[in-house]
Each structure stands twice: as C-alpha cells, then as structure tokens.
Structure 1
C-alpha cells in the first residue's frame, strides 16, 4: 500500500492573493473528507504551515474548487475557501475577488471553458453566495494569457488585464445592499461605547468606521496597527458587534469564532499623501478620492480585498455613507473611483443609481491580473483517507 496519494492541483496568483485551485471531481465528494484533505494539503493547523503548501499568511491560505455548470447562461461554478492557519477550519461563508480573478484563467487552461482568442468572457456562479461574476480573460494560443502592460498595486511587474464585473453580487452575504436599511448606524459596542458605522454588502460585506474615531490617521502601515493588540481588540469588538446586528451570528462573541473572515471592517479617511509601505513610493493626496485600511482575519490587509474594493466603491456612490462623506469632491458621473490602500491605489469602475427607495448597482468592475505558477500533484498521507472509503 502506498503511503501517499496524489491530488491534482494548480497554484495561481490571483490579484494580490495566492491560492490552490482544484477541479471539483479531483477532490472527495464527502465534505468532511474533502476538508480533511484540503487542510492536510495546506499544512493546517500550524502557524508556519510548514508541512503543506499554505504560505502562513491569510492572503496565501486560500483555495478555489471549480466545476462546469449545468445552469443555462453560466459557464462554471466555483467555491472559495479561506483556510485557517492555526486551526483545523476552512471558512466558506464568502467569496474572494482576488482568488476569483484566477478562476476564469484556471477554467480556460483546464479546458472546461471554450477559449476564444483575444478575450474570453467567463460567466461564473459563486456557490458561497449564489451570486454571478463576469470575467473578461485575455487568451492567446488557447490558454489564458499572463503577458501584458497592466499593473496592480501590491504585485510586482505587469500582466494581462482581467476585468471582473461584480455588479451582480449586491447583497451577497446578507441579501441586501444596505443590511440595516440605513446609510449610517450608531452602535453601542460593549467595552467600546458608541461608534458610527456604515455597512454595505456588494462583493463583500464591509463595515466602515472613520479612522479618526479610533485615534488614527487612516494611512497607517500594517505593522503600526498589528503591533497594537488593544486597538486590534477594539476594532474586532466593533466588527463582531456589527456582524451580530445584521443577523449573521447569534451573539457578538461568536463572530470572532465562526465568522472570522467576514464581514470585513475598514477604516476610512479623507485623501492624503502617504508612502507605499512595500516600496516607499509616495502616493500623492490628489491621486486618490479617499484612503482606506482594511482588516482581514484580525490583522491589517497588506493591500485591499478584491471583493472589498467592489463594496467600498459602491459605498462611495451612496450619499451619506462614511465612505461617501470622506470624499472632498465627488463627480457621480465620472464612472470610476480611486482609493488608496497600504500598497498603492485601486481604481474601480462603478455606477450606482437610485430607483425609488432602492439603490441599484449597475456596474462594479475591477481590473486584476492572474498567473499560473504551478500545475501538478500534491501528495497527501493515506492516513487522512482512513475510514472514508475514497
């Protein structure tokens, strides 16, 4: 009997994240066994993930499971998983825009989507949320292209631009673009006090707080925030309480356990100059509409989540939200928004209109890049499969 079993696997950089991509049929159909296998592949639980392919960072401990779709008008379905590093858990409650940007190229390369030279439009259904995403993927010689002149902050070099329209993800987590029905809410958070927030759900569900309300400028680097455990606890208390308020957990305390990865929380401030923490490049005040610092898995995100970029751009177009208030001068007709994060600037094409009393997201598209890094087999101990009959 062999001690190890091979599982077909592809490593893709998707946007500013990196993940493992699998065809659904290459994994066990039993969810419990599937997660045992995936945790073994990543090397979790272990803060170094040294015995697996995980990168010991929330931005590299991610996966996508992809399959052809039987639904008319949908090419593929995919499931996103956020793999905990120090726990034997995989979180499936949300989607990830960066990992999503690699799904189309992966499906094309795997032959489950017909490739069309130039641009192949891939219509996908995210199974975590039930929402639709449309990706425009550059193709050359029948494979997803990774050569181009498009650059995204947080990734060195340039690549081919993948445009993802996520307007169809409004209400992805809660069923409503504005989960509380309000553009702002004042929450009385135990141990913190009264905090004004805005909550918007499109792509991702995000909670927005003014940076100055927490004694911050809004241009802090990750290490500045991550080195303040008391402040991190306060921010997590706000996130957890808001998560409970919008009905995603039974109690605020449980949010830190069962919903560690979503909703996100972001700190918002008016546009100001600052330095890219990765390369020291100056980002001028006039180059962005506002600045944001997002927390993910209770530490600062080194860039900004792809789905979060959709949510925050939509929030910027809704009068009265904390994000909209932070913009000194906004042209609602220019068709895009630019905001600053720790590693640079993200631009999102966005169009939001009001139909009677409801806001409607007509377009929310972000440019990303993706590249296949490795394709092959990852080996899993046979003991992982014991008593499961697979």
Structure 2
C-alpha cells in the first residue's frame, strides 16, 4: 500500500438516469467542510472532464450518495445527496436526487444497514437534504437484492429489476411550503411562472413564451445562448422570491420548461440542472411537476386543462418518456406520487485520495 494515498471504500452505482459513488457516512469526515473538500478531490472537480477524479464530466455523473443508519425513528436509513460541481470545486447539498435515491435501498441492504426480506423489501429512506421520507420497494428473492429484470426506463439502455418509489409528502423540500410565495402563478421578466417547492424547488415556465415548443433537443437548448441567459436570469429572480437569496452558486431552484406533447404524452418537459438541460428527466422534477398539476391555476394545471388525481401523467423528455402515478391519500390533503426506476451496481472498491499535510 502506498502511504501517500488514502483508500475510502465506495460503490459506484447507476440510479435511474444518474450515477456516482455511494459511500457509508462512517467512511467520510463528519465535518461538512472536510467532507466536501474530499468529495471535490475524489470527483476531480474544477476541470470540465474531471480528468483527475472519478466524475464523468457531466452533472448527471458527478453525483454522490452518502448513506448511514437512520437518525429518525420513522426511517430505516439516512441518505445525504451531494451534487458535486464539474467545472468548479463546489459541493451542493441543498437538493435531493430521486434517481440516485433509487439505488439507496439496494446499497443499504448490501452494506448491512437494512435486513432484506424474502421476496420484497420496503425501505423507508430519510433524505437528509429535504427532511422527507420516501419509501423504496425492491425485489429481494431469497433475501438478496436482485438487479436483473425486465423493467426499462427511457434514457438507460437495457433492462433491470424495477425499483418503486413512493413520495408520500412531496411538499416543501426546502421552504416547508408547496407554494413559497403563496401564488399559484406570477410573472417574472414578462414570463408566466409557478414557483413551487415539491420534491425539489423549481420555477416552472411555458416554452411558448420563449418562442419554443418544449420538445427541442437538450443540445439545441444548451446551444441557444440567448435563451440560456434569459433562463438563468429568471431562475435567480425566482430564487430571491422563494427566499433563497443569491442562488448563483446553488443548483436550486431548478428551471423547468413545459410545452405541448409531441409523442402522445401529457406534457413535454425540459428540466435544467440548472445550466445544463437534463438528457432525460429528474425523478424529483417529475414528482414536483405532478404536484403542481394538482393545484388549480398553476402553469402546469392550466396546460393540462384542470387535470386532477387519481390518474397517471406521462412526461416527454429528450430521450423518451416518464410516467408517474398520482393518488389521493386516505388522510391529509397531500397526494402521493409513485415513480418506477431501475438501478445497477457497477463497481466495488476504493476511491484513492492524496493525503494532506
């Protein structure tokens, strides 16, 4: 063993349409500043290719999951999500990531944090970023995690075993309120907008008000410099209105563009992370749009002609479609949103980092 390197156990997993290293919380520094500095080095941030780390040079593959024993009585495990910036040496733990979330329960079982049942195991995941509980349901024949199956999701090649996620309380991830400004719709720089805090914090906008259809490719939207400047300016104003202050270095709120469907779905969605257009659709973004659909007067509800639950919604994204199921709960007035994802264990080993003086 080389004494100038530290070895930190990790598992690289694909969760939904994202991927990144999964760590046990006990293997990382408890101090957030030290932890984040370590994650920046592990991922190789500060370089567009993350050439000196294990990051993939893209926001969707520069994500980290930190998993540990539950700190709440109503949960089985804790999950802290870290969005590690690519070009800059920054880590953002404000948002949740529902795609990475789909791999948390399988990782926790394999790490011995949760005992698997024969057939199916339900794991209540406490997302530390938002303080919310999400229930994951996974296949565990003979008490072992199963990754192979016939479920498919657009944006990921091949098939795998399904992971079902239930968002029972997707309200107020960061502000404690679904509508942080108490307005179902408002105007920002001449554009109609709904500022919403569901599974993630977002500003939802109409593609047509930018002269767009909402079904453009991710690459074409990123190449449209004028549109990108307008979108970022609106996002920053939305952040101020939602009480986040200056969000120049934060990924929240996420801009979401909606338009008329082109391929038989209910809505076309383009989700930004926040400066890059997602090649598919974030799970938390889909859940948040679904929550907006249930509120009369929002830009989503109007676009869907006063849609109401219980029902399914199919969202068209750059590489296909995502369907969510929205149902009314037996008690309370917050609907529950169900999403199906898949995941896969890709690598087991250690992240190597340089020892610091």
User: Does 1:246 pair with 2:236?
Assistant: no
Q: Which residue of 2 aligns with 1:190?
A: none
Partner of 1:270: 260
Equivalent in the alignment of 1:351:
327
Instruction: Look up the SS of the partner of 1:265 in the other structure.
Output: strand
Which residue of structure 2 aligns with residue 210 of structure 1?
206
1:256 paired with 2:248, answer yes
Distance 1:150 1:236 in 2: 36
Partner of 2:227: 231
The answer to whether residue 295 in structure 2 is matched with residue 322 in structure 1 is no
Q: Which stretches of structure 1, 4 residues or more, deviate above 4 A after TM superposition? A: none
Among 327, 347, 350, the alignment partner of 1:374 is 347
Per-residue Cα deviation, 1:165-219 (whole angstroms, up to 9, x for no partner) = 11223111111011111211123xxxxx322101222111121111010110110
Q: Counterparts in 2 of 1:1-390, with a 5 A limit?
A: 2-187=3-188, 193-249=189-245, 254-257=246-249, 259=250, 261-271=251-261, 273=262, 284=263, 286=264, 288-327=265-304, 330=307, 332-351=308-327, 360-383=333-356, 386=357
Q: Quick one: distance in 2 between partners of 1:107 and 1:90?
A: 23
| Structure 1 residue 63: Cα displacement | 0.4
**Contact 1:317 / 1:352 at 8 angstroms: preserved in 2?**
no
Distance 2:32 2:305 in 1: 49
Aligned residue pairs total 356
CA distance in structure 2 between the partners assigned to 1:29 and 1:209 by the alignment: 39
Aligned mates of 1:380, 1:163 — CA distance in 2: 35
TM-score, scaled to structure 2: 0.95
Instruction: Give the Cα–Cα distance (whole angstroms) in 2 for the partners of residues 198 and 347 of structure 1.
Output: 21
For structure 1, the residue ranges without an aligned partner over 5 or more in a row are 188-192, 274-283
**Can you give the 5+ residue segments of structure 2 that lack an aligned partner in the other structure?**
none
| Distance (Å, rounded) in 2 between the aligned partners of 1:381 and 1:23 | 19
C-alpha distance in 1 between matches for 2:309 and 2:66: 38
TM-score w.r.t. the length of structure 1 is 0.88
SS of corresponding position for 2:152: coil
1:277 is matched with none
* Distance (whole Å) between structure 1 residues aligned to residue 182 and residue 288 of structure 2: 16
- Secondary structure at 2:269's aligned position in 1? strand
Distance 2:28 2:242 in 1: 34
Q: Report if the CA contact (8 A) 2:45-2:86 is conserved.
A: yes
1: distance between equivalents of 2:194 and 2:33?
A: 37
| Equivalent-residue separation in structure 2 for 1:217 and 1:30 (angstroms) | 46
SS at match of 2:14: strand
**RMSD, aligned CA:** 1.8
1:26-67 Cα offsets, whole Å, 9 max, x none, are: 112222222221111101111111111100000000001110
Q: Which residue of 2 aligns with 1:278?
A: none
